[in-house]
Amino acid sequence: MKLTAILLTAALWGAVRPVMAQTDSLDHGGPEGLDIYEELLMEDGGSVDPVVPRIAISPLVWDVNDSLSYIPGYDMYCHWNTDVIFDRGNTARFVHDTLRLVLSQQDCDHAIPCDGKLNSPFGPRRGRMHYGIDLELETGDPVKSAFAGMVRISKYNKSFGHVVVVRHQNGLETLYAHLSKRMVEPGQMVEAGDVLGLGGNTGRSYGSHLHFEVRFLDQPIDPSLVFDIEKGQLKAHTFDIHKGTFATIAAAKATAGTRRYHVVRSGDTLSAIARRNGTSVSSLCRLNGISASSTLRLGQRVRVN
């Protein structure tokens, strides 16, 4: 792209600032010490705000009005939006070959965001997708940037609570949600391990924890494919992305969106139903508002996902 075109794109992006539409839903599972956020983020309202000059907060804070070359991954995204957390419409950019992202070249260029153990994985959960992993922490514990990069989002969001998103040089973005305090501003450069804020329980969250996401071109990636949380290290120094990476997630999302039920037959037990449906008795109890010792009725519909 010619420089003039890049600058024009940047100017247009500055002029048209999508407004985030939020919806609320009471349709979620019970408390589990976890977040209950939904992917409700990116329905662009399309309204046009007046162009407001943007002023750097400090010499270390940059935006597109300073120079595009400061924005990590600008050539891939062609925008830098400090309002919208993720662009759900950004689905078709990555359709071709495998792209190998370099994650690390030395020991000090990456960090696990917090020390807590993983208590909820990426994937379908309570009938919808969980696009990150949940890590245990106490409110007030430091939350660190996984890699060096530039803070793109630092704001309060109804679902994520106090949330920070960092764009990294390789195009990956990482998200840190439910913070009690944010300590960085959009445009701020950070190093791996820099404290972005303090862990907490804000937004749609039950119990203090860190909801941590990894995304590429707005598409979610299982952070457990990038980090070995138990060992506290990267899985590998590179990460390969190909269209299959996101097709798997799309398939899981389709499954997650479909509620499945089991109709109780003679001889059924909760544990047998759980086993046949790849879930647990405690999940069935939570989904159906019953206890493990509840008596099942013949013909009863038991929700299984």
* Residues binding Zn ion: number (CB under 5 A): 4
Considering only the stretches 2-10, 61-69, 185-193, 206-214, report the one whose residues sit in contact with Zn ion under the rule CB under 5 A.
206-214
Cα separations in angstroms, 2 against 66, 93, 129, 157:
18, 20, 39, 36
Told to check if 35 binds Zn ion by CB under 5 A, we report yes
* Phi/psi of residue 280, nearest 5 degrees: -120, 160
Closer Cβ to Zn ion, 14 or 203, answer by number: 203
State how far Cα 304 lies from the chain centre.
Answer: 25
Query: Which of 126, 211 has the CB closer to Zn ion?
Result: 211
134 is a site residue for Zn ion (CB under 5 A): yes
> Least CB distance from residue 213 to Zn ion, whole Å?
8
211 binds Zn ion (CB under 5 A): yes
Task: Identify how many contiguous H helices and E strands the chain contains and give both numbers.
Answer: 6, 19
Residue 62: CB minimum distance to Zn ion, A: 30
Residue nearest to Zn ion (CB): 211
From the list 8-16, 62-70, 97-105, 127-135, the region that binds Zn ion by CB under 5 A is 127-135
Smallest gap from residue 178 Cβ to Zn ion (A): 8
The smaller minimum CB distance to Zn ion, of residues 68 and 175, is found at 175
Structure tokens at 147: 């890699």
CB 103 within 8 A of CB 236: yes
Minimum gap (Å) between residue 107 Cβ and Zn ion: 28
Q: Of the listed pieces 15-23, 33-41, 189-197, 256-264, which binds Zn ion according to CB under 5 A?
A: 33-41
Whole-angstrom Cα distance, residue 231 to residue 275? 29
Between 110 and 211, name the residue whose CB sits nearer to Zn ion.
Answer: 211
- Give all strands (DSSP E) within the chain, no chain letters: 99-102, 118-120, 123-125, 128-130, 133-136, 142-144, 149-157, 161-168, 172-179, 181-182, 189-190, 195-198, 209-216, 219-221, 227-228, 233-234, 238-241, 261-263, 301-303
With contacts defined by CB under 5 A, name the span among 8-16, 30-38, 55-63, 110-118 that binds Zn ion. Answer: 30-38
For the bound state, the minimum distance from the C-beta of residue 44 to Zn ion, rounded and expressed in Å, comes to 24
Task: Give the binding range for Zn ion (CB under 5 A) out of 48-56, 105-113, 126-134, 270-278.
Answer: 126-134
Q: How far is the CB of 140 from Zn ion (least distance, A)?
A: 19
Q: Are 192 and 109 in contact (CB under 8 A)?
A: yes
> b/e map of 27-66 (b: 16 or more CB within 10 Å)?
eeeeebebbbbbebbbeeeeeeeeeeeeeeeeeebbbbee
> For residues 88 and 242, which CB has a smaller minimum distance to Zn ion in the complex?
88
Tell me which residue of 115, 282, 139, 118 sits closest to 205, measured CA to CA: 139
Toward Zn ion, which CB reaches closer, 9 or 119? 119
Residues 95-124 binding Zn ion (CB under 5 A) are none
Cα distances from 213 to residues 4, 61, 268, in angstroms, run: 34, 23, 38
Give the range of 1-9, 28-36, 94-102, 108-116 binding Zn ion by CB under 5 A.
28-36
Q: How many other CB atoms are found less than 10 A from the CB of residue 285?
A: 17
Encoded tokens for 26: 């009471």
Closer residue to Zn ion in complex, CB, 155/242: 155
Q: Which residues bind Zn ion (CB under 5 A)?
A: 35, 132, 134, 211
